[in-house]
Amino acid sequence: MPRKTATDDLLAPVTLAVGQEDLLLDRAVQEVVAAARAADADTDVRDLTSDALQPGTLAELTSPSLFAERKVVIVRNAQDLSADTVKDVKSYLAAPAEEITLVLLHAGGAKGKGLLDAARKAGAREVACPKMAKPADRLAFVRAEFRATGRSATPEACQALVDAIGSDLRELASACAQLVADIEGTIDESVVARYYTGRAEASSFTVADRAVEGRAAEALEALRWAMATGVAPVLITSALAQGVRSIGKLASAPRGARPGDLARELGMPPWKIDRVRQQMRGWSADGVAAALRAVAEADAGVKGGGADPEYALEKAVVAVARAARSRS
């Protein structure tokens, strides 16, 4: 979920939404608009792209109205504003108009940083909307979606949903909303599997799980299904590498440590510690090393180093599954 400043007045004179995650940026805008319309049902909303905000436009939009109406002015991609328009915005920040909320959407980074700094210095309410590139971020997002509705979902269900849906935050949010609407009680892994079985079976993590468990035939079947449904090869090599590394990390961890302590030390949730423990039974140190080499070769192959990415993946899956039985 977006992180907000401590002073979180939705009707603050200026709201600054910073980041590149479109869903979170849109939600930041929707929250302000909803609050404004709750205060005044006739609120005038002006939603502008950076090229539509020309020098002088902001002054026109924020000039006093004969009817003293509340207004929300949204400026998207504020980092792309022209130098003259940035001057207008900075001037406005020094003396914002009453009954008007200015919402600036800024990608962050170096481009347009002067405007970003000026808005912060002026005391703008800020909402962080970072791109959720890491699986852990998307997992936290899913958990927050369920919490926001007051519903309970097991850790395994949240992970299964991320595995099944992938990186599209809008689709993840939609899936959470559907499950909340359709399911009573706690949402568990079986529910997610029932709703998203085709997608879950095509998940790169399903391929990796079957491979590190030594189930070569099932891993190859999952791989072919994943490739047929458009899962990117690089996602599969990434999942394989993550699965093998998890085996290696847990194998080298102190014996007898509690799952909670291991989770903190290894950077895994406790439930995953239990899953990896079950998966690592047939592994040896040599097997981990061999599997990592095979995955690295496959990764190079799918990134242009080989003529047939699918064959490179099949070789890696078989090698990982064989390594999973290296202790026996």
Alpha helices in the chain (DSSP H): 22-39, 57-61, 83-94, 113-121, 135-148, 155-165, 169-182, 189-195, 197-201, 204-212, 216-228, 233-251, 259-266, 270-279, 285-300, 309-323
Give tens-digit pLDDT for 39-95. Answer: 999 899 999 999 999 999 999 998 876 566 789 999 999 999 999 999 999 999 999
Tell me, yes or no, whether 125 and 139 share the same domain.
no
pLDDT value of position 202: 57
Question: So what's the pLDDT on residue 234?
Answer: 87
Hey, which residues does 47 pair with through a beta bridge?
Answer: 74
CB atoms within 10 A of CB 276: 20
Q: Are 259 and 320 in contact (CB under 8 A)?
A: no
Mean pLDDT to the nearest integer, 213-241: 87
Verify that 112 and 220 share a domain, yes or no. no
Helix axis angle, 113-121 relative to 83-94, nearest 10°?
Answer: 0
pLDDT at 252 over 50: yes
* Residues contacting residue 158 through CB under 8 Å, at least 6 positions apart: 139, 142, 143, 146
Counting the structural domains of the chain, the total is 3
51 lies in the same domain as 144: no
Last residue of a domain, one of 129, 147, 179: 129
Residue 125 is classified by DSSP as: E
Give the pLDDT confidence score for residue 103 in this predicted structure. 97
**DSSP codes of every residue in 70-97:** -EEEEESSGGG--HHHHHHHHHHHHSPP
Residue 268 lies in domain: 204-324
**Is the CB of residue 203 less than 8 Å from the CB of residue 232?**
no
Domain at 98, CATH number = 3.40.50.300
Show which of 146, 176, 196 is a domain's final residue.
196
* Residue 177 sits in the same domain as residue 223: no
Q: Binning pLDDT at 50, 70 and 90, where does residue 306 land?
A: low
Residue 171, pLDDT score: 84
Query: In terms of DSSP bridges, do strands 71-75 and 14-19 run parallel, antiparallel, or are they unpaired?
Result: unpaired
Kindly state whether residue 37 falls inside one of the protein's structural domains: yes
> Is there a domain that residue 3 lies in?
no
Alpha-carbon distance of 282 to 288, in angstroms, equals: 11
Tell me, yes or no, whether 9 lies in a domain: no
Query: What pLDDT, on a 0 to 100 scale, did the predictor assign at position 6?
Result: 40
**Residue-level pLDDT at 5:** 47
Question: pLDDT digits over 110-169, tens only?
Answer: 999 999 999 999 999 999 999 888 888 899 999 999 999 999 999 999 988 888 777 788
* 159 in the same domain as 110: no
Q: How far apart are the C-alpha atoms of 98 and 69, rounded to whole Å?
A: 10
* Same domain? 286 vs 222: yes
**How large is the angle between the packed helices 309-323 and 216-228, nearest 10 degrees?**
150
Same domain, 97 and 172: no
Structure tokens at 161: 């949903």
- For 63-99, letters b (16+ CB in 10 Å) and e give eeeeeeebbbbbbbbbbbbeeebbebbbebbeebbeb
Quick check: is 2 in a domain? no
Would you give the DSSP letter of residue 196? S
* Domain shared by 221 and 306, yes or no: yes
CATH number of the domain where residue 238 is located:
1.20.272.10
Could you tell me if 147 and 90 lie in one domain?
A: no
Give me the residue label for tokens 């998207």: 76
Within a domain: residue 285?
Answer: yes
